[in-house]
Chain A
Amino acid sequence: MRFFEDLQVGQRRELGSYTFTAEEIIRFAQQFDPQRFHLDEEEGRNSLFGGLAASGWHVGSVCMKLIVADNQRLAELARSRGETIPVGGPSPGFRELRWLEPVLAGDTISFCSEIDSLRTSASRPHWGILQARNTGTNQRGDLVFSVLASAFVPTRNNG
């Protein structure tokens, strides 16, 4: 996480990659999305996905996990330089989420975030709102996931 003043449209961050194992795909699906193609290899092969496919909500949640980890790395850097550490706010939502290709067991997805727009919050003077295009690309270079997500970001005079 950085302060609102330090952000610019077009800034891009590589968030790192994540390998979806069959075990994790099934565990997430059992809890939240137990459709047959998310639970069973054979059923997945016979579906439009062509294999055991992660729930789209699992893919989105992993993207969030890598965003938080990236923010923690930035906070650690700021701490090591003796700077004030910004604490991020919640998100009002997202738009244009696309599950473009299935994420199958064993796939490694690299996530990336690029700032799409920035505006100050009308109702909350110490906050800005960023909109970022977050994407996931598999090991073959196919774009599999894309979302335009918003979040509150603190300004330097916050709190």
Chain B
Amino acid sequence: MTLTFEDFPQGPFGSFGPRHVSRDEIIAFASEFDPQPMHLDEQAALQSMLKGLSGSGWHLCSLMMRMMFDGFIGRTASLGSPGVNEVRWLSPLRPGDELMLDVEILEARVSRSRPSTGIVTFKCSVRNQAGGRLCEMVSPIIVARRRAGR
């Protein structure tokens, strides 16, 4: 069954994963979108502030999007998102990480300009297998409201 606005009340929503991240994936993404030495080359990465090969923050965000899709967006009447309030990259994504996504709903309100939809503000947090937090994001998503007979 498709999830609609009514299925996203304020409060904890769920945890999703794990998602394994390989060294090859990290390098492939960085080669295309963020070819800085700290994301491509172990030796150069050791000299960097992150002290070892790390995934691009945009890769981590894209993986977070995929985990949201696999977790619930894929079966939600989502109409897209107007943006992201904040992303904080807290610790580096490393090759071999097993990511878990924790999702909380900060706010859910009916759209004033499009009353057939609601705006659900999610707080998403990604942690690794050691429990270290890698990334936090707050972002609204537009979700259709349930119609009579659906």
Which A residues fall within an 8 A CB radius of B?
28, 31-35, 37, 47-49, 53, 55-57, 60-62, 64-65, 68, 87-99, 124, 127, 147, 152
Quick check: A64 and B85 within 8 Å, CB to CB? Answer: no
Given contacts A53-B80, A61-B34, could you give 18 more A-B pairs where the C-beta distance is less than 8 Å? A32-B62, A33-B62, A33-B69, A35-B69, A35-B74, A35-B80, A48-B80, A57-B58, A57-B65, A60-B58, A64-B56, A65-B34, A89-B49, A90-B92, A94-B86, A94-B87, A95-B87, A96-B83
Surface stretch bound by A, among B6-14, B35-43, B95-103, B121-129: B35-43
23 contacts between A and B (CB under 8 A): A33-B65, A35-B73, A35-B74, A35-B78, A47-B80, A48-B79, A56-B80, A60-B58, A60-B61, A61-B29, A61-B33, A61-B34, A64-B34, A64-B56, A65-B33, A68-B36, A87-B48, A90-B54, A90-B92, A98-B82, A99-B83, A124-B49, A152-B49
- B81 close to A (CB within 8 Å): yes
Given the known inter-chain contacts A64-B33, A96-B85, please indicate yes or no for A57 contacting B62, CB distance below 8 A: yes
- How far, in angstroms, from A127 to B49 measured CA to CA in the complex? 10
Q: State whether A33 touches B66 (Cβ < 8 A).
A: yes
A28 CB contacts on chain B under 8 angstroms: 62
B77-123 contacts to A, CB under 8 A, are 78-89, 92
Chain B: residues with CB nearer than 8 A to chain A?
Answer: 29, 32-38, 48-50, 54, 56-59, 61-63, 65-66, 69, 73-74, 78-89, 92, 142
- Residues of B near A55 (CB, < 8 A) are 62, 65
- Interface secondary structure of B, over-half rule: mixed
Asked if A92 meets B82 with Cβ closer than 8 Å, knowing A33-B62, A64-B56, the reply is no
CA distance A57 to B135 in the complex (A): 15
Asked whether A68 and B34 contact (CB < 8 A) given A47-B79, A90-B57, A96-B83, the answer is yes
- Contact partner, B82, options A32, A91, A99, Cβ 8 Å: A99
The answer to whether B84 touches A97 (Cβ under 8 A) is yes
> Cα distance A93–B92 when bound, in Å?
12
Contact (Cβ within 8 A) B58 A64? yes
